[in-house]
Amino acid sequence: MLLARRDLSQKYRRLRLGYLWAILEPLGMSVTMWFVFEILLGGRDLGQQPYYLFLTVAILPWWWFTSGIAASTKALVGFSRTLPVSVLPTQFSVVRVLVTRTFDFIFSLPLIVLAMLVTWTFPGVSVGLFLLAFLIQLVLMYGLSLLVASISALVPDFARIVRIVLRAAFYLTPVLYSVALLPEGARSVASLNPLAGILTLYRVGWWPEEHVSMTGYAVSIGTALVCLIAGVITFRRLEHRILKEA
Amino acid sequence: MARIHIDESLPYALEFDDVRLTMTRRRRRRGQGRADRLRRLAQDTRKVTEEVFTGLSLTVEPGEAVALIPRDRRSMTVEFIRLAAGTLIPDHGHVHRRDLVIPILRRAGLVNARLTVRQNIFVVGILLGMSPEEINERMDWIVTTAGLGKALDGYARACPPELRRRIVWTTSMAAQARAYATQGSLIVGDEAFREVGWAHVEKLREDGVTFLVAGQNARVLERFCTRALVLGEGGIVFDGTVSAALDLVGRASVQEDDDEEPEQDVDLLDGDRDEWRAD
């Protein structure tokens, strides 16, 4: 935890706007997307209304996910000085990266409040599911981070693959659009994406009609657990090789 | 899932049980053919897998100060120490330890210039397994011993390498381990600080702290160690008194490690990006 706090203060110390950057980055992204899809392409039924809020609620978790996984590719690389001397468990390096990104995400949450005020739309009670979505995503990301970090420590090419996959995943994941508004056939395919269920849980507090079926949630929770187990096992298996590389 | 297992009921400070280890190293391409020359020019390296230990078994009693002397390859002692401290996991066999084995640090490069000295002490201390409370408790001791004074809350960039070395060394001593391992850093610093260091480690040895010492010159080993291991041929070629071991390998060949890598800003937090490889 302490190391993660140091990471955060390091990350923002030299910037004039400091912690505001945790907000400004996703804010820029969501405003751009809203401008392109709502204003320029105008009135297409991509998602629920108000579209700006709809976008913001999903783009923050997405940003957390993609930046966290991308950062984990470097979590165990380039620590040739610390790994040989550290008596901390090796996976702490991965946890540290994840904790840093998670705090970034939490700091950026006021953006949702801002979007709510701008659009004057407020959620119902089921907004409590936001917390559940957060927890599922955390488990999913921990598993994936371990997996990604350990493999990319040994195979540098893997980091590039991850980057490409993440970029593709942005379009495959209902950030810009809503699963509920897809045609019937496409909907079942889209629910197979573990992030689809998570994003629905984030959004359902504002738009109860986002809830389509339980399958999406089951897929999300199932994938999160599978990733956790796979991550832990892979990490254990590769740990001695990672240490040798250090 | 922790990689370091502590077994408090162990009668020894340290026990290596049929440890085997291979390491992959990168070697520069040799050879005079055109292809080899081109590859050398392109800084291409080839990977070689070396057997470092083939069935190493030994025990170290609590309170022993063991000198590790490499017979042919210096890096063997590094790997021995990393195995003991648990920062390397053997391919086969186990290393059992009764207490944490803490590496003694001395590299000025471990100090991050962009943090304050106090923050650096925290980062290094945490890497060595101390809790923030413990570090706070021992902060006064660290400050007095390393002679930090007002530098404590200044940025580490203002500290000369000499002071940085003292900071990391003192912080590892503050870990108050029951076992220490060191590659070339038993004693650091200038004459005055070496006096302090000697007094400290000799006191520790009398109190029954176990030491694994490598990368020191013959004089230091003879003064400090009670037992010597000569490493070679995938295991131990000699186990006995320090003077006998030194006679075996030749006193002159036992040298103190060169003290420091070239000065550069290394970032413990961001990780260093250099392409360092054991060779």
* B266 to chain A: closest CA residue: A81
DSSP state string for B29-96:
---SSHHHHHHHHTT-EEEEEEEEEEEEEEEE-TT-EEEEEESS-THHHHHHHHHHHTSS--SEEEEE
ipTM, interface predicted TM-score of the complex: 0.72
Looking at this protein, which amino acid is placed at residue B203?
K
**pLDDT computed for residue A5 by the predictor:** 65
**pLDDT computed for residue B272 by the predictor:** 38
Least confident of A177-186, B15-24, B175-184, B202-211: A177-186
More confident residue, B227 or A41: B227
| Chain A residues 57-116 within an 8 A CB cutoff of chain B | 74, 77-91
**Nearest Cα to A152, choosing from A166, A138, A173, A140?**
A166
pLDDT tier for residue A145 given thresholds of 50, 70 and 90? very high
Q: Which residues of B touch A233 (CB under 8 A)?
A: none
**Nearest Cα to B212, choosing from B23, B20, B14?**
B14
pLDDT (mean) for B151-168: 81
DSSP state string for B182-238:
EES-SS-SSHHHHHHHHHHHHHHHHTT-EEEEES--HHHHHHH-SEEEEEETTEEEE
pLDDT tier for residue A19 given thresholds of 50, 70 and 90? low
**Residue B176 Cα to chain centre, angstroms:** 16
User: How open is the CA angle A204-A205-A210, to the nearest 5 degrees?
Assistant: 20
Q: How far is B128 from chain A (nearest CA, A)?
A: 5
Of A78, A82, A84, nearest to B273 by CB-CB distance is: A78
**pLDDT computed for residue A43 by the predictor:** 59
Of B82, B102, B274, nearest to A84 by CB-CB distance is: B82
Looking at this protein, which amino acid is placed at residue A72?
S
Contact A85 B105 (CB under 8 A): yes
Of B1, B114, B132, nearest to A89 by CB-CB distance is: B1
Task: Count CB-CB contacts under 10 A for residue A44.
Answer: 10
Least confident of B43-47, B67-71, B191-195: B43-47
CA atoms within 13 A on the CB side of B152: 15
Task: Count CB-CB contacts under 10 A for residue B188.
Answer: 22
Contact A2 B122 (CB under 8 A): yes
pLDDT (mean) for A73-95: 77
DSSP state string for chain A:
-HHHHHHHHHHHHTSTTTTHHHHHHHHHHHHHHHIIIIIITTS---SPSSHHHHHHHHHHHHHHHHHHHHHHTTTTTT-TTTTTT--S-TTHHHHHHHHHHHHHHHHHTHHHHHHHHHHT----GGGGHHHHHHHHHHHHHHHHHHHHHHHHHH-THHHHHHHHHHHHHHHHTTTSS-GGGS-HHHHHHHTTSHHHHHHHHHHTTT-GGG---SHHHHHHHHHHHHHHHHHHHHHHHHHHHHHHH-
**pLDDT computed for residue A14 by the predictor:** 58
The mean pLDDT of chain A is 82
pLDDT (mean) for B191-216: 84
Q: Length of chain B, please?
A: 279
Q: Which residues of B touch A6 (CB under 8 A)?
A: 115, 119, 122-123, 269
Contact A85 B87 (CB under 8 A): yes
CB of A154 within 8 Å of a chain B CB? The answer is no
Q: Which residues of B touch A89 (CB under 8 A)?
A: 1-4
Q: How far is B244 from chain A (nearest CA, A)?
A: 31
**Nearest Cα to A141, choosing from A195, A197, A201, A207?**
A195
The mean pLDDT of chain B is 78
* pLDDT tens profile B107-117: 777 777 777 88
Distance CA B234, CA B53 (A): 4
More confident residue, A67 or B274: A67
| Interacting residues of A135 by C-beta distance below 8 A, sequence separation 6+ | none
Please determine, for residue A37, whether its predicted confidence score (pLDDT) is greater than 60: yes
* B182 to chain A: closest CA residue: A85
**pLDDT computed for residue A62 by the predictor:** 92
CB of A135 within 8 Å of a chain B CB? The answer is no
Q: Which residues of B touch A235 (CB under 8 A)?
A: 1
CB of A2 within 8 Å of a chain B CB? The answer is yes
| Residue B231, token pair as written in the block | 């490493």
| Interacting residues of B208 by C-beta distance below 8 A, sequence separation 6+ | B62, B63, B178
Q: Is the peptide bond before B70 cis (omega within 30 degrees of 0)?
A: no
Q: Which residues of A touch B23 (CB under 8 A)?
A: 244
More confident residue, B51 or A246: B51
**Nearest Cα to A136, choosing from A57, A72, A70, A194?**
A194
- % of chain A at pLDDT higher than 90: 16
| Interacting residues of A205 by C-beta distance below 8 A, sequence separation 6+ | A123, A124, A125, A126, A127, A128, A129, A130
Distance CA B23, CA B218 (A): 28
* A93 to chain B: closest CA residue: B269
Using left for φ > 0, alpha for ψ between -120 and 50, and beta otherwise, residue A16 falls in alpha
**pLDDT computed for residue A25 by the predictor:** 79
Looking at the DSSP bridge assignments, the partners of residue B27 are: B46
| Residue A67, token pair as written in the block | 């930046």
pLDDT (mean) for B192-199: 83
Measured CA to CA in angstroms, residue B9 lies from B13, B61, B89, B173, B239 at distances of 10, 13, 21, 25, 25
Contact B89 A243 (CB under 8 A): yes
Q: Length of chain A, please?
A: 246
CA atoms within 13 A on the CB side of B19: 26
Question: Would you list the domain boundaries of chain A?
Answer: 21-245
Contact A82 B91 (CB under 8 A): no
**pLDDT computed for residue A7 by the predictor:** 65
**pLDDT computed for residue B273 by the predictor:** 37
CB of A1 within 8 Å of a chain B CB? The answer is no
Of B119, B122, B268, nearest to A82 by CB-CB distance is: B268
**pLDDT computed for residue B264 by the predictor:** 44
pLDDT (mean) for B3-17: 80
Measured CA to CA in angstroms, residue A197 lies from A49, A54, A62, B30, B215 at distances of 19, 15, 13, 56, 57
pTM of the entire predicted model: 0.80
Spatial contact of B199 and B214, defined as CB atoms under 8 Å apart: no
pLDDT tier for residue A233 given thresholds of 50, 70 and 90? very high
**pLDDT computed for residue A10 by the predictor:** 62
**pLDDT computed for residue A164 by the predictor:** 92
* pLDDT tens profile B251-275: 777 777 655 544 444 444 444 333 3
Q: Which residues of B touch A86 (CB under 8 A)?
A: 87, 127-128
Contact A6 B102 (CB under 8 A): no
pLDDT (mean) for A1-15: 62
Contact A243 B132 (CB under 8 A): no
* pLDDT tens profile A154-198: 888 888 999 999 999 888 888 888 877 777 777 778 778 888 888
**pLDDT computed for residue B276 by the predictor:** 33
* pLDDT tens profile B51-72: 888 888 888 888 888 888 888 7
**pLDDT computed for residue A134 by the predictor:** 92
Least confident of A93-102, B174-183, B270-279: B270-279
- % of chain A at pLDDT higher than 70: 89
**Residue B246 per-residue DSSP state:** H
Spatial contact of A146 and A234, defined as CB atoms under 8 Å apart: yes
Distance CA A140, CA A65 (A): 9
